Amino acid sequence: MKSRFEERFGFEPRSLQLAVEMQGFAERLWILEAETGSGKTETALHRFFSLFAAGEVDGLFFALPTRVAARNLYARVRTYVARLFPEDERPPVLLAVPGYAQLDGMDLPDFHGNRFFDEGVHDRFWAAEQPKRFLAATIAVGTVDQALLGVIKTRHAHLRLGLLARHLLVVDEVHASDAYMTALLQHLLRWHVGALQGHALLLSATLGAQARTAFMQTVKPNLQALPLNRAASLPYPMLWRNTQAHPIPSEQKRCVRISLLPIAHEERIPKWENCRAEMDATRLRRMDRETETQGGWHVGPLLDAVAPALDAGARVLVVLNTVARANAFVRVAERVGLAKMLFAVNGVCCPHHGRFAAEDRLLLDHAVGDRFGGNAPKGACLLVGTQTLEQSLDIDADFLITDLSPADVLLQRLGRLHRHARTDRPKGYEHPRAYVLVPEGEAPLLSALDESGRIDRRLLGWGFGSVYEDLRGLEQTRRLIRDEGNVCTPDDARRWVEAATHPDALASLGAEDARWAVHGQSLGGVRAAWMIAADLATIDWSKPIDEAHWRESGEKVRVRLGVESYEIPLDPPFVSPFGRKIDRVVVPGWMLPEEWKSVGMPEMQCIPEQDGVTLIMKANGLHRCLLRYSRFGLEVKQ
């Protein structure tokens, strides 16, 4: 006899999905912790279909961390909805991403010019016409920002929160690295689950006890976080219903052999003299590793690790912490003769990161799935990118090299290894293996801290102190790799995550050296400031709306800290190196001169070049050649 899950999805449920199927509807906050690739997405949709059939909810909002992740999931949701509902009863499925919205897989028309006069058609499209209505759609897939705007001091917040009240809110890829967003999500859950009695499901592969407790406090305010020893010993995977724990058997056990690969502490790029494009990998490995300082980094040891894997025919994934490092490595790999094995889109070699225009990024994502997905062909390939490769993409690599990152992030990256059962792994890579890049030295991270807890600027290029601010979590992760040499999931997942995120584990380093303690104190002050900022940004809906009113329109209140960006239209548009027409670019705030940030929307002029375009930005009479867009994405023009 088929289970309800098998009828809905067409394949037999795993233990994760069976555990959800047997639960009721009384507890309204669910937190599902399970490893990457365990089927959390289908589990969440199964939960929604059950709630929807029972009349417990009227709709679904599936919230992802990024626009790209939302677009990738959207097609899967549409497939399952089409399977379950007859065509004449099928609810609309909305891609709730401003500027790229779709309904039932179709791009939307310009609603500002011509509205639908056919009442039946207009009713179906009504929720898609404007972002403030997105949450009115029966089934919507978008970014978590759209839900968070229901508690932020911005226009139409009451509309968004009200529309969400009868929906199942699913938040995917929940983690604790951003204190500001964690506080905002906690505030949203307090109203959606606590006050409005809505349903919510949080999905995570690497959620630490501290963050999990913060979310559970929305239904049990006096709940205390577990101490380190108890938190690290909890079973994994786990389903939490409100605050009750329900362990779930795991059907996939995997061990990754993991080693540290020290790289020269100085930021260098090798000087590859007498290097020819046709040079083979064997000769490449014998090359003299003389280097010179060029504002980059010494990639000789990294190439030594990559070359034999490519020789064996492996699909190699290199995940680096910053766009600059990813771009630099691709450029060097091309110079030393690896261009034919580099990941390419429409025949154009490129890295994968978040600084591409949306049209190109969609092409890159599809190409990654074609070359590294479960049905990808055999053959050597080198894919280099950043955090964009950690989640939401179907990547099955034979070998991984990654920058050091906190254990919760590192486990996500390791989840890209041997994701599917394959019988064609190259010799020597039949079992998952990974190298983690670290600066040279016995205590490289501690030596980078001064007496005031500040980080040596040389490590900022690694993303230490910028992408990952807390060096204590990085240090604890480095020690785990050094001491253990293997990580087995799910058995080690809980212990590794808590070692790198639990306050007790981080504070323990302070007993070894005062610099760790001072560094932690400085970060504690920053975290406290974020929490205050989050409190000031949110609305207290328990007060009458006239008392909760804010003086300004709220348009400058941000859902995310540190990611302020500017979407700038281009007229005329240009054609990207991958053949797509680009009519707008998103420019990170740090790329703009400080004096430009108060002058409004700049104009952009495009000047074609051999390998891309130069973007000349103009605002209030100010102009300079500032940016370049090429197969390496958007970069500051040198």
Q: How do residues 33-56 score in pLDDT, each as one tens digit?
A: 998 878 899 999 999 999 999 999
Residue range 342-364: mean pLDDT, rounded:
93
Instruction: Name 292's Cβ contacts closer than 8 Å, sequence gap at least 6.
Output: 268, 269, 270, 271
The whole-number pLDDT of residue 561 equals: 57
The whole-number pLDDT of residue 543 equals: 80
- CB count, 10 Å around CB of 355? 21
Compute the distance between CA of residue 623 and CA of residue 24 in angstroms, rounded to an integer.
61
Q: Is the pLDDT of residue 576 over 90?
A: yes
Residue 603: phi, psi to the nearest 5?
Answer: -95, 150
Q: Is the pLDDT of residue 208 over 60?
A: yes
Domains, the chain, in order of start with CATH, read: 16-247 (3.40.50.300), 254-443 (3.40.50.300), 565-636 (no CATH)
Query: Angle, to 10 degrees, between the axis of helix 67-84 and the axis of helix 358-372?
Result: 60
Confidence bin at 173 (pLDDT 50/70/90): confident
Residue range 382-404: mean pLDDT, rounded:
92
The whole-number pLDDT of residue 284 equals: 34
Three-state SS at 52:
helix
The answer to whether the beta carbons of residues 431 and 257 sit under 8 Å apart is yes
> Range with the lowest mean pLDDT among 215-219, 230-234, 283-287?
283-287
Residue range 180-206: mean pLDDT, rounded:
93
Residue range 586-601: mean pLDDT, rounded:
72
Q: Give the tens place of pLDDT for each residue, 272-300.
A: 333 333 333 333 333 333 232 233 457 77
Checking DSSP bridges between strand 254-263 and strand 486-489, what pairing results, if any? antiparallel
Nearest C-alpha neighbor of 252 from the set 415, 110, 398 = 415
Residue range 241-252: mean pLDDT, rounded:
89
Compute the distance between CA of residue 15 and CA of residue 40 in angstroms, rounded to an integer.
11
Q: Is the pLDDT of residue 625 over 80?
A: no
Residue range 208-217: mean pLDDT, rounded:
93
The whole-number pLDDT of residue 112 equals: 47
- 529 vs 57: which has the higher pLDDT: 57
The whole-number pLDDT of residue 321 equals: 94
Q: For residues 200-221, b (16+ Cβ closer than 10 Å) or e, as one string?
A: bbbbbbbbbbbbbbbbbbbbee
The whole-number pLDDT of residue 128 equals: 86
Cα 412 to chain center, whole Å? 10
DSSP element (H, E) containing 531: helix 514-537
DSSP element (H, E) containing 40: helix 40-53
Instruction: Name 84's Cβ contacts closer than 8 Å, sequence gap at least 6.
Output: 8, 49
Residue range 384-394: mean pLDDT, rounded:
88
Handedness of CA 241, 243, 249, 250 (dihedral sign): positive
Q: Is the pLDDT of residue 621 over 70?
A: no
Q: Is the pLDDT of residue 565 over 90?
A: no
Which residues on neighbouring strands pair with residue 107, listed in sequence order?
102
How far CA 450 is from CA of 163, 447, 457, 516, in Å, comes to: 50, 8, 11, 10
Q: Is the pLDDT of residue 366 over 80?
A: yes
Three-state SS at 259:
strand
Confidence bin at 71 (pLDDT 50/70/90): confident
DSSP element (H, E) containing 622: strand 622-630
Residue range 190-202: mean pLDDT, rounded:
94
Q: Is the pLDDT of residue 193 over 60?
A: yes
Q: Give the tens place of pLDDT for each residue, 72-111.
A: 889 889 999 988 888 888 899 999 988 778 888 887 765 5
Query: Angle, to 10 degrees, between the axis of helix 209-216 and the axis of helix 493-501?
Result: 90
The answer to whether the beta carbons of residues 469 and 293 sit under 8 Å apart is no
Which residues on neighbouring strands pair with residue 468, listed in sequence order?
464
- 496 vs 179: which has the higher pLDDT: 496
The whole-number pLDDT of residue 141 equals: 96
Confidence bin at 271 (pLDDT 50/70/90): very low
Q: Give the tens place of pLDDT for each residue, 515-562.
A: 999 999 998 888 888 888 888 888 888 887 666 655 444 445 566 655
The whole-number pLDDT of residue 562 equals: 54
The whole-number pLDDT of residue 190 equals: 94
Q: Give the tens place of pLDDT for each residue, 474-526.
A: 999 999 999 999 999 999 999 999 999 999 999 999 999 999 999 999 988 88
The whole-number pLDDT of residue 113 equals: 44
